[in-house]
Chain A
Amino acid sequence: MQTFTYERVRTPAEAAAAAARTPGAKFLAGGTNLLDLMKLEIETPAHIIDVGKVGLDKIEPTPAGGLRIGALVTNTDLADHRTVRRDYGLLSRALLAGASGQLRNKATTAGNLLQRTRCPYFYDTNQRCNKREPGSGCAAIAGYSRQLGIIGTSDACIATHPSDMAVAMRALDAEVETVKANGTTRTIPLAQFYRLPGQTPHLETTLEKNELITAVLLPPPVGGVHIYQKVRDRSSYAFALVSVGAILQQDGSGRIAVGGVAPRPWRVETAEKLLPAGAKAFTAQLLQGARPTKENAYKLALVENTVAAVLNEGKH
């Protein structure tokens, strides 16, 4: 790990100000992804701003009837929260399907959204990777790609976003609340939070430099049956090959976001109109324009079959 200077801050405003005056700084919350990447020297911050004790660890009702989830609420506490379990079951289920008990105790809500891809070529500093080293090329496209993306990808990058939580958040129409270095705040719909890679896969979100996530906002609950189906190589503590997060209503309508296939949770609202027609019609529209590799083309069928299983489960 490369050496760095360190400071603890007490408020989000202090954090934003500290970032603005220190070039090469990174915020540290739970650290389960950032420290891992720092050990491999894929991330080499010159300065660490520890935001772990700035508060932001509450889950509160909003005036609109939704929930405001503080950026530092741990994955464990979010999955376990009474209101989340009752009204946003999809979110609890997605969180509980991710990582291990130890990691969920440390990982935060904002950190989960900002975790980097698990593409093996991104993690291996001997390999070419446009995300790690812009312009160096992508060794994954012609390489071992069975776990990687099939849609929303580019010639520069086929990495997937690894978060289960983000898939649920996307289906729930979550918004990300932030504070910028100049102190102004804004909210970004999760649908507009992640960039597609194009020719700049190292730019992953629409956050500005030194902008800090303070909360994730959920709109009022929409009812329905909540299902998170994760397909993976082993039944626990593994990343998704494909995951399907669904909220299904009795009249056959619903929302579905899919994980493990794209650089962001993949949801196409117009395709959801086809849900009453069944998994085949819906998936054809959802994955229109997909560009799988030879090794991961199986994901096209896996998405359709998993959606079919989820729709079937929703009827019971």
Chain B
Amino acid sequence: MDESNDYLFSRREMLVSTTLAVTGLALLNVTGAEAAPVPVSLAKVSFAVNGKPHQLELDTRTTLLDTLREHLHLTGTKKGCDHGQCGACTVLVNGRRINSCLSLALQHEDDAITTIEGLGTPDKLHPMQAAFIKHDGYQCGYCTPGQICSAVAVLAEIRAGMPSHVSASLLEPPRATNMELRERMSGNICRCGAYSNIAEAMSEVAGKDA
């Protein structure tokens, strides 16, 4: 803008500047005039997601969950509680299920990560995805990607002979009973209450495995 016609502000421009000035003052009040902005710290990490290698430079605070959703645009993995209590963010890391909300992306150097998008596709469903559809293992669907990732890992844990809290013996191989499935899935919450159908879907896949 030419200094000579500063006074020819339109009403709209005037309103915008006033708003900005007020916002600026509000910010000063909150942060204090002398507070220097805290510099964001960046760091690099490399890992594979669904078989595809990625090299990223991220704000150190970025969780694996936010990296998947916001940076890699794999939005199948869901953010529920963001504190490890609901299981909606469950993904597989080197074959093991974890809460991706309670992990920094930087902790996953050289890891192989599998999300719901890597388990199956609409044309070629993973058997667990097909079983969830067949048994109506969801209603709203928000917790479903986490439930399915967790369910796939649970059956692998049972096949590997890992005991659970409800296993009668620590030394005998566990079986995929309803009680075992329910105990092992307790880290995945479903507000719609599809639990019994999820257990049935898992039982069917476990039966095919056997």
Contacts and interface: CB of A to CB of B under 8 A. Distances in A.
Contacts of A103: 84, 99, 102, 187
Contact of B63 (A5, A35, A85, A101): A35
A96 B163 CA distance: 8
A85 B36 CA distance: 55
A86 B171 contact: yes
A99 B184 CA distance: 11
B40 A3 contact: yes
A35 B165 contact: no
A15 to B, nearest CB: 15
Contact of B183 (A8, A50, A89, A236): A236
A3 B41 contact: yes
A244 interface: no
A30 to B, nearest CB: 8
A28 B90 CA distance: 20
A86 B188 CA distance: 30
Q: Which of B38, B61, B103, B184 has the most chain A CB atoms closer than 10 A to its own CB?
A: B61
Interface string A81-103: 00001100100110011011111
Nearest to A7: B43
A48 interface: yes
A232 to B, nearest CB: 11
B41 A5 contact: yes
Nearest to B167: A96
Interface in B158-173: 160-165, 167, 170-171
A80 interface: yes
A52 interface: yes
B contacts with A: majority SS: loop
A102 B99 contact: yes
A100 B187 contact: yes
Interface stretch (B14-22, B48-56, B104-112, B196-204): B104-112
Nearest to A228: B165
A280 to B, nearest CB: 28
A102 B87 contact: yes
20 contacts: A2-B38, A3-B40, A3-B41, A8-B106, A35-B104, A36-B102, A39-B82, A50-B106, A76-B96, A76-B162, A92-B163, A93-B170, A96-B165, A101-B97, A101-B154, A102-B87, A103-B84, A106-B102, A106-B103, A236-B165
Interface of B: 38-41, 43, 59-61, 63, 82-84, 87, 90, 96-99, 102-104, 106-107, 109, 150, 153-154, 157, 160-165, 167, 170-171, 182-188
The 7 closest A-B CB pairs, nearest first, are A100-B187, A236-B186, A237-B186, A85-B170, A6-B60, A96-B165, A105-B96
Interface of A: 1-6, 8, 28, 31-32, 35-36, 39, 48, 50, 52-53, 76, 79-80, 85-86, 89, 92-93, 96-97, 99-103, 105-106, 236-237
